[in-house]
Amino acid sequence: MSKPSRKRKNPLRQPTSPAPFRTMIPHSSAWFEALFDINVIQAFATGALIDRTKREDGCTFCGSAPALIYDALDAPYLPLRLCNECFDLRTTALGERLQRRPGRS
């Protein structure tokens, strides 16, 4: 009797289903709940930026407004609002692949 085959998952293979965070809106209450589970420090820092600038459409990292919404292409990360400078930093220096969300952000 032969053993049942066990297929190993390829970690480099792209997921077939869309990332679970792709429909989430940055800086919404659901977004902050998810961010608290992933990165508490970033959640507090972004919350402080929003409180200080009084704008929810600002950049997730520096607070510059208005900022566009970007989705990560390589992993199911939370979408981000990024200004041009932070977008350039994350794509150039950190090598992240981000895609601008279509439509008005």
Asked if the structure places residue 49 within a domain, the reply is yes
Question: Rounded distance, CA 104 to CA 80, Å?
Answer: 14
Question: Does residue 3 sit within a domain?
Answer: no
Which pLDDT score, from 0 to 100, does residue 50 have?
Answer: 94
pLDDT at 1 (0 to 100)? 52
Asked if the structure places residue 37 within a domain, the reply is yes
Return the pLDDT at 11: 52
How many angstroms separate the first and last alpha carbons of the chain? Answer: 58
Q: What is the pLDDT of residue 17?
A: 46
pLDDT score recorded for residue 5: 54
Chunked in runs of 10, what are the mean pLDDT values of the chain (105 residues)? 55 50 86 93 95 94 94 88 96 94 74
Kindly state whether residue 91 falls inside one of the protein's structural domains: yes
CB 31 within 8 A of CB 40: no
Q: How many domains does the chain have?
A: 1
Query: Helix (H, G, I), strand (E, B), or coil: what is residue 34?
Result: helix
Range of the domain at 37: 29-100
Whole-prediction pTM value?
A: 0.75
